[in-house]
Amino acid sequence: MSRPSPVTPDPRTASRPSPVTLDPRAVRRRRSPKARESAAAWAFVTPATLVILGLSIMPVVWSFLLSFQSNDLLSPSRWVGLANYRALSQDPEFAQAVRNTVLYTVLYVPLSVVLGLALALALNRRIRFTGVYRTLMFVPFVVSATSQGVLFSFILDPEFGAANSLLARIGVSSQGFLSDPGQALLVLVAISVWSGTGFCVVIYLAALQDVPRELIEAAALDGASGRHILRHVTLPAIGPVSAFLILWQTINALQVFDQVYVTTKGGPLGSTTLIVYFVWEQAFKNFTAGYGAAAAYVLVLALLLVGAVPAAVRRLRARRTRGAAA
C-alpha cells in the first residue's frame, strides 16, 4: 500500500501571514464608549460655554466697540473714533469722579486691611465666645450693599437720624453726614470699612492659623517680645495673604456702585460720584452710552494696571534673587 505524499507548503506563501480582516461594525463598537463620553462631556460643557460667551465675552466686545461710537440707546449709532476718549480728558466731571475714586481707594484699602489684621490678631487667641465674635465680625460683609445703604441712610439722616440724636445728647452739634459735601465721601468710606473689614478678618484668621507654631515658640525662647514676634515672624509669614487682600480690596474699591446709588446718588455737588456711578449716569441717565463705555474702559485700563503691579513686583524680586545668588 503506497504512502501518501507529504504536503509541503509553497515557499512563495509560507512566510506570509494570513491577512486579518476587521469587521467595521466591531471597530465602531469598540470606539463607541469613548465617543459617548466625549458627546456627554460636550453636552454638559456647551450650555456653560454659551452662557459665558453670551453674558461675558460678547458684552465686553460690544461695549468696546460702543466706546468708539455716539449712541443714545435709541437711534442708530454713529462711529466717532477716539472722540469720546478725547472728551473724557477734558471733562471736569470725569476728573472729579477720578479724584473721588482715588481718594476713596486710598482711604478704604489701608483702613480695611489694617483693621482686619488687628481684629484677626485679637480673635486668634483662646478667649470665651470667640466663635460668636468671629461671626459678628463677618455678618456685615454678607449684608448686601443695598441694605447697608438703606440702613445708614436712616441712621445718618440729618434731621431724624439716630446719629445726630446721639450727638445731641453728648453736646455735639448736628452733622450733615451724607448731605454735607465735605463729609459725604468720608462717611461713605466709613460705611465701606464697616462692611468690608469682615472679609479681611476671616482671611487673616485662616492665615494666622497656618503660621508654624515652631517659629513662634523658637522666637519666644530666644527672648523675642510679642511685638518682635509679630514684626519678624507673623507678618512675613502672612505676607502673601496681605498682598492678596490689598489687591482684592483695591479692585473692589474701584468698582463701588451700589452704596453710592442707594445713599447719595453721586451728591451732594458730585462729592461722592465715583467712576462706576459716572459710567452708569452717562449711559442710562444722560443717554450717552458711547461716552459711558469710554469711561468704563478707562476704568478697565486702571484695573489692568492694578493687577499687573504685583506680577511686576514678583518678577523684580525674582531677578534680584537670581542676581544675588549668581
pLDDT at 12: 55
Residue that wins the pLDDT comparison between 5 and 226: 226
Question: Is pLDDT of 268 > 70?
Answer: yes
Residue that wins the pLDDT comparison between 110 and 35: 110
Phi/psi zone of residue 6: left (φ > 0), alpha (ψ -120 to 50 degrees), beta? beta
Q: Please state, as a whole number, how many other Cβ atoms lie within 10 Å of the Cβ of residue 267.
A: 15
Say if residues 105 and 246 touch (Cβ distance below 8 Å): no
Local confidence band at 36 (pLDDT 50, 70, 90 cut-offs): confident
CA pair distance 86, 246, nearest whole angstrom: 32
Q: How far is CA 122 from CA 83, 118, 225, in A?
A: 54, 6, 17
The identity of residue 151, as a single letter, is L
CA pair distance 39, 194, nearest whole angstrom: 50
Topology (CATH level 3) of domain 98-272:
MetI-like fold (1.10.3720)
- C-alpha cell, 311: 506680577
Question: Is pLDDT of 25 > 60?
Answer: no
Terminal Cα-to-Cα distance of the chain (whole angstroms): 97
Range 296-315 average pLDDT: 86
CA pair distance 325, 173, nearest whole angstrom: 63
| pLDDT tens for each residue of 160-207 | 889 999 998 998 888 889 999 999 999 999 999 999 999 999 999 999
Say if residues 249 and 266 touch (Cβ distance below 8 Å): no
Range 106-131 average pLDDT: 90
Range 97-109 average pLDDT: 95
pLDDT at 6: 52
pLDDT at 8: 54
Q: What is the CA radius of gyration of the chain?
A: 33
Average pLDDT, the chain: 85
Question: Is pLDDT of 294 > 90?
Answer: yes
Range 250-260 average pLDDT: 91
Say if residues 45 and 35 touch (Cβ distance below 8 Å): no
Site of grid cell 486702571: 302
CA pair distance 239, 148, nearest whole angstrom: 31
| pLDDT tens for each residue of 201-215 | 999 999 998 888 888
